[in-house]
Amino acid sequence: MKRFDNRTVIVTGGARGMGASHARGFVAEGANVVIADVLEQEGRTLADELGDHAIFSRLDVTSDRDWAATVAAAEEAFGPVSVLVNNAGIVRFGQIEETEPAVWRQVLEINLTGAYLGIRAVVPSMRKAGGGAIVNISSAGGMMAYPNNAAYVASKWGVRGMTKTAALELARDNIRVNSIHPGPVRTLDDGRAGRRGGRSGGGKGFGDSARGRAL
């Protein structure tokens, strides 16, 4: 018996990079995976590669409607959701005085609000499953400060704090909530940094578990 036999898993930012690695790992352990991303072609290609145990759902993590549709698609295809991996995120470099408010809001909206919306969307489904696990991909930048990266660092400290609060609130429902704080991870970058639901960056450095980098 595999660790995630017949469990339904949603992975955001799952079309490539760390998200795709998460999706492959879950399928290898018996799970049914929803690859949720704005990168439709790559997401559908990965779902085809993984076979009957995976589907693709287009998800902009900042959209309530997209979250509702993704959870509904997961339940229709595989049953109630047991695991959510909030992996999508972006990074924007720059000193605080050089960071435009629109850029600040974009990073917070995707990295922090996107994870909040995901938790909010999956909890009713996890209750139907009898419990579950939520994994928020934060960053080493959620444990310490880095220069020229205020929006990203603020968002990842926020993810860490929100995770702790969610864990306290949802324990009674047998739902575990944890954050992971990786250091730099080299993943693919195609120059389209900042796509909602995807990743950012290029090469190695801060990025999050997203298209571009992870940290």
Catalytic residue IDs: 152
Q: Sheet of 8-12: strands edge to edge?
A: 54-58, 32-37, 8-12, 81-86, 132-137, 175-180
Among the listed residues 215, 111, 212, 100, the one whose alpha carbon sits nearest the alpha carbon of residue 154: 111
Distance CA 153, CA 31 (A): 32
Assigned token pair, 5: 């036999």
Question: What tokens does 58 get?
Answer: 């287009």
Two structure tokens written together for 80:
């109630």
User: In which residue are the tokens 């902009």 written?
Assistant: 60
In this structure, the number of other CB atoms found within 10 A of the CB of residue 28 comes to 13
Element (H, E) at 134: strand 132-137
Is 173 within 8 Å of 166 (Cβ atoms)? no
Pairing of strands 213-214, 54-58: unpaired
